[in-house]
Structure 1
């Protein structure tokens, strides 16, 4: 399988997105985020998204000319308008605003409106944690799950990510969607002709199903049942009600290049530990807890596998399937 350095992969993705109509301020951070996700082993948010994003740009689902801007602010709060562009430039602006305002006010909440698919949400919180801040990130997504007691999808899988800085180690990163299982696993089962466990999904009539094809035309189920669905509802409200963005059921799905501009919302919360118990106390407390966790031989810290994969990719490069590499080169006009 062909192998690219991270720099080569980033340059190729940037060129492909630029050729599809993304301006330089959009293409570069998008490529950087996709390569970072690929390096962490999150292929679903990695280079495979480049052709999809190119399709969104070509079909007007994303505005390649958009430049995000802060459109409202007060103290530690601000609203970034992504202006229907790909999400990553808006996320970078939100991270910068969150860091600056958290240092000034102790805490910052940055909403993003009129946004798009946000990829691996662990990346923006990691950027804040590397600056010594505790960070949480939320995004809604096109409808995939019902509300408790409901049948039709109204809410997205609505990922949540959190990052906690450490004194002499990489930040602790927690990143998870709120569905019981990733939709990709259901798609894999459908292709393989295998059944899925009960509790993963409902069919189009709202009945529990083990048929992956029925699940794909129905709805995902939230992790933890009602509790997970209510967490997804919290994310929907934080990201959309506060920012004026579209709820999941108002956004067309991302499995086809055609559809509306999704107008999704994201939110970042950044906290300066020095404004509360103090940096030293925070550092001591987090290490005390992590040491207790690792006292159990079966415990692996969240994010440790992704960090190891990223370090390996930085040293050895990325393996890119030949078909995807050919597609990227074709999009970039480098065939």
Structure 2
């Protein structure tokens, strides 16, 4: 069963639940904003369902309740953020706001964040940036799930990346993706249903492609595009992990294997102030023309017209605004219990 809760009420409930784990009101509010937006976009695996696992890691010491997050400006348009092992969405919010501030001043803003944790999906950050007129490229590294191309031991994570471009006259462009062909959650679902999976999703423990979900779960995820996806995952880890001064590749701590240890994840934020490039009218005209070219493409399946990345999520967002945010009974029960 799924309940629909009005956004403001749900956010207040999430803030109270996060405070019950020891977060300050301000830190809880910034964290809740990202997680609620995730659920509004329909990204429920990365939304308020994460409050319980985030809270468990706080109680185990893997995430700090009261971090000392520091910002170091290292150039006119570049900063480092030391997250001090804080809850990830908080580090993400602080990094995003710092990148915005720099981009307003210099036209571009680059922020390298270190000593962070899982920071939710990236789409909410791109959306918040787009609402303020900023184009964005944002990425994060992750704990190990993918073997290097041709290898049979995991050495890199299923690192997410996202791009956002504002559209003053309509929906922004938002592309949020991880770098595996399929998420482990999809493989687990197939195993529970007794179904096979495409052998392009994962390998077994020996690095051989498999259609058996049980073998896949004991093996490794495959990157999109074969060796090209492998290279792209490495590029994300270089920007988000290595250059930020955070952990990278096998130095990243496993959330599941070592929940009491900080993950030491890194994030990278690059924002561009589109108002430095032209007026809002100029950008609106070009973005509408861009989307129109794609929407006018004849569809191979008439029931599935061509869309622009982000449209599905933003349609869900508008529905959530009008009808309430969908939340499962289990997640809602946990939030209410913690809030009490």
In the alignment, the residues of structure 1 paired with residue 327 and residue 275 of structure 2 have an alpha-carbon distance, to the nearest angstrom, of: 43
Is the CA contact 2:90–2:119 (under 8 Å) kept in the aligned structure 1? no
SS of 2:109 mapped into structure 1: strand
* 1:112 aligned partner: 113
* 2:315 aligned partner: 308
How far apart are residue 249 of structure 1 and its match? 2.3
Is the CA contact 2:169–2:284 (under 8 Å) kept in the aligned structure 1? no
SS of 2:176 mapped into structure 1: strand
Whether 2:184 is the aligned partner of 1:183: answer yes
In the alignment, the residues of structure 2 paired with residue 148 and residue 92 of structure 1 have an alpha-carbon distance, to the nearest angstrom, of: 33
Is the CA contact 1:147–1:233 (under 8 Å) kept in the aligned structure 2? no
In the alignment, the residues of structure 2 paired with residue 288 and residue 322 of structure 1 have an alpha-carbon distance, to the nearest angstrom, of: 42
Q: Deviations over 1:18-72 (max 9, x none)?
A: 1122222322211121111011110101111111111010001100111422034
How far apart are residue 275 of structure 1 and its match? 4.1
Whether 2:277 is the aligned partner of 1:270: answer no
* 1:322 aligned partner: 329
How far apart are residue 217 of structure 1 and its match? 1.7
In the alignment, the residues of structure 1 paired with residue 331 and residue 123 of structure 2 have an alpha-carbon distance, to the nearest angstrom, of: 24
SS of 1:161 mapped into structure 2: strand
CA change 1:84–1:43 in 2 (3 A) is same
SS of 1:173 mapped into structure 2: strand
* 1:60 aligned partner: 61
Structure 1 residues 98-137: aligned runs within 5 Å: 98-137=99-138
Structure 1 gaps, min length 5: none
* 2:82 aligned partner: 81
How far apart are residue 259 of structure 1 and its match? 4.0
Structure 1 residues 271-290: aligned runs within 5 Å: 271-276=272-277, 281-290=282-291
Q: TM-score, normalised by structure 2?
A: 0.92
In the alignment, the residues of structure 2 paired with residue 211 and residue 252 of structure 1 have an alpha-carbon distance, to the nearest angstrom, of: 27
In the alignment, the residues of structure 2 paired with residue 104 and residue 328 of structure 1 have an alpha-carbon distance, to the nearest angstrom, of: 40
Q: TM-score, normalised by structure 1?
A: 0.94
In the alignment, the residues of structure 2 paired with residue 39 and residue 282 of structure 1 have an alpha-carbon distance, to the nearest angstrom, of: 26
Structure 1 residues 135-284: aligned runs within 5 Å: 135-255=136-256, 258-276=259-277, 281-284=282-285
* 1:37 aligned partner: 38
SS of 2:8 mapped into structure 1: helix
Is the CA contact 1:138–1:158 (under 8 Å) kept in the aligned structure 2? yes
Q: CA RMSD in A?
A: 1.8
User: How many residues of Structure 1 are paired with residues of Structure 2 in the alignment?
Assistant: 333
Is the CA contact 2:168–2:280 (under 8 Å) kept in the aligned structure 1? no
Whether 2:4 is the aligned partner of 1:3: answer yes
CA change 1:105–1:197 in 2 (3 A) is same
Q: Deviations over 1:199-240 (max 9, x none)?
A: 101111211111112211211100111111110000000001
Deviates more, 1:184-193 or 1:53-62: 184-193
CA change 1:104–1:206 in 2 (3 A) is same
In the alignment, the residues of structure 2 paired with residue 325 and residue 278 of structure 1 have an alpha-carbon distance, to the nearest angstrom, of: 43
Is the CA contact 2:143–2:255 (under 8 Å) kept in the aligned structure 1? yes
SS of 1:135 mapped into structure 2: strand
Is the CA contact 1:68–1:89 (under 8 Å) kept in the aligned structure 2? no
* 1:27 aligned partner: 28
In the alignment, the residues of structure 1 paired with residue 108 and residue 41 of structure 2 have an alpha-carbon distance, to the nearest angstrom, of: 29
